[in-house]
Chain A
């Protein structure tokens, strides 16, 4: 069965600090997708990134970067030069390939990030 672990429950940083959110996953499938979602105080989950299991290339998007390592089953998320607007709960998620991806969508418990001015 699949599982997603986010060991950091809460993180507080001061603005402009870099911060890394950890995500470790378990799956027996060789084909799967990993995601990061952001949930700001408004409540809606906002999609940030999707990565498939065959693509271990790291990705950078502005101040955000993601490090995918199959050898350690990790998909970590780094925010560089954090800003107060980055304060949110961040969820890592896993979806295994199958006849319907929706059947196998699993979320981690989330990490609450507070960026202090």
Chain B
């Protein structure tokens, strides 16, 4: 079974803090994604990575950056957290030739 693991289920951070959300997958998938989920808006893509050190901006990259130094790990970075970044963050992975994504359990981030 594919397993996508996010480092935290719940996080509370202060405004202005640098925040790291970590995601690890164990199936050697090339693609990894970070989504943000907000009520009524569904999942919106923040960043997409199709290989180590390769990334593409999604629909809402502002205020975020990512890092992929190893194939199995994809980190989302909030350089200076703001209250409008309070949300549920979901990581996913997939193979390029297979149209299916596998998701982690999500991290609910609250910025106070």
Residues of A within 8 A of B (CB): 4, 6, 9, 33, 35, 37, 42-45, 47, 50, 52, 91, 95, 97, 99-103, 105, 107-110
Q: Is the CB of A110 within 8 A of B102?
A: no
B interface: dominant SS = strand
Interface size for chain B: under 10, 10 to 19, 20 to 34, or 35 or more residues? 20 to 34
- Given known pairs A100-B50, A102-B48, the reply for A9 and B40 (CB within 8 Å) is yes
Q: Is the CB of B40 within 8 A of A103?
A: no
Q: Write 5 A-B pairs (CB below 8 A) sorted by A numbering.
A: A9-B40, A50-B99, A95-B99, A105-B45, A107-B35
Q: Is the CB of A91 within 8 A of B106?
A: no
Q: Which residues of B contact A9 (CB under 8 A)?
A: 40
Docked complex Cα distance between A84 and B32 (Å): 33
